[in-house]
Amino acid sequence: MKQGGTILPVLRRDLLVIVVAFAASLLLGWAINILRPVPVAFPYQSRETRALQGLERTEKEPPELPLEAVQRAVGSAVFIDAREPFFFEEGHLPEAVNFPVSAIIERRLPSLPADRNQRLIVYCSGGDCEDSRIIARALSALGFENVFVFRGGWEEWVEARP
Amino acid sequence: MGGMGGGEAVIARLALAGLLILAGTLKLPDPLGFADGLAAFHLLPAWAITPLAAGIPIFEILAGGGLISRRFRTAGALASCGLTAAFVVFYGWAFLSGRDVTCSCFGNLELFQVSTTTGLLRAALLLALAAWVAARAYFPPANSANQPSSGTGKGCH
């Protein structure tokens, strides 16, 4: 590219190259995906769909608990942390068991209480995080009768700390 | 050598190329992990996630290869700007939405699993690097040692 010359022709050429390369990448990626032993589904299936596949489906949404009820439950309920291990290791509720959605998709269940009536309170980061609801539904499908969701999650727990 | 300016540009370009190729290579074996990461941002429709999860890693490798080559250097630089800008948008959206997201942008190695805030900073730094590399590729200094049209020039290697 010459000094002082317009870059427009170069830019046009580059944009064409990029479009062709991107299209070729999508096609090649698609072909590779089809040839995989376990291809990624099209259209994409959410983690919730994959997690609950094969489990007895329940239409009942798990009840939610406010922060105060969760704070009172320390020592009596078992907290289930639905976040990925990286976030769990940064901090979690007292004695929480890490049970991310990826674990249930891969059927790697953590050590869960033997008593199916044990109160379980599931949480994730808070806000728009849906993983707690997914894990709660999976736990219900696995036979646990007393499952709740702490919607405020880790964020609300941390904000309430003195 | 074309002086410190040329050397810095080469190092930056090769570092960016290396990062892109690494990112693409790490994502290739696990498209489902990357698809879940893209879905977690809640920005893309379901029909777009699978093809993008399958294709973006390959595009990253091509962009990195373009940065290394002579012929496609400017195209590689522009593509890297587009890629990094897209991830700034994605992470920025997650940050504003208060979501904890790991996009698996560098595969599933625990070393590269970062929080939303760190991911946003990482993407922003990469965008700044890509923009600087692109600026140097399109507007090389007025120095005969750095004229890419002549092949290399002394300052380019």
CB contact under 8 A, B54 and A22: no
d(CA B55, CA A83): 27
d(CA A110, CA A64): 23
From A127-131, A155-159, B53-57, B123-127, the region with the lowest mean pLDDT: A127-131
pLDDT greater than 90 at residue A64: yes
Interface check for B51 against chain A (CB to CB < 8 A): the answer is yes
Interface check for B151 against chain A (CB to CB < 8 A): the answer is no
**Residue of chain A whose Cα is closest to the Cα of B141:** A3
pLDDT greater than 80 at residue B47: yes
Nearest CB among B97, B98, B100 relative to A83 is that of: B100
Mean local confidence (pLDDT), A68-92: 93
From A107-121, B19-33, B125-139, the region with the lowest mean pLDDT: A107-121
d(CA B8, CA B16): 12
pLDDT greater than 80 at residue A100: yes
Q: Label residue B132 by pLDDT band (50, 70, 90).
A: very high
Residue B43 is encoded by which pair of tokens? 């920005």
Nearest CB among A29, A42, A155 relative to B55 is that of: A29
d(CA B63, CA B66): 5
**Percentage of chain B modeled with pLDDT above 90:** 49
Structure confidence by residue, pLDDT tens digits, A3-39: 446 889 999 999 999 999 999 999 999 999 999 988 8
pLDDT greater than 80 at residue A148: yes
d(CA B2, CA B144): 8
B108, β-bridge pairs: B106
**More confident position, A158 or A130:** A158
The pLDDT, as a whole number, for residue A46 is 85
Q: Quick check: helix, strand or coil at residue A150? A: strand
Structure confidence by residue, pLDDT tens digits, A49-58: 887 776 766 6
Contact residues on chain B for A126, CB-CB shorter than 8 A: 98
Q: Label residue A147 by pLDDT band (50, 70, 90).
A: very high
Per the listing, tokens 């690494």 go with B22
**If you average pLDDT over every residue of chain A, what do you get?**
88
Contact residues on chain A for B147, CB-CB shorter than 8 A: 2-3
From A107-116, A147-156, B4-13, B29-38, the region with the lowest mean pLDDT: B4-13
d(CA B51, CA A41): 10
d(CA B137, CA A17): 16
- Write the ipTM: 0.83
Contact between residue B104 and residue B27 where contact means Cβ atoms under 8 Å apart:
yes
Write down the pTM of the prediction: 0.70
Q: Label residue B143 by pLDDT band (50, 70, 90).
A: low
Classify residue B29 as exposed, middle or buried by CB count within 10 Å of its CB (0-12, 13-18, 19+): exposed
The pLDDT, as a whole number, for residue A22 is 97
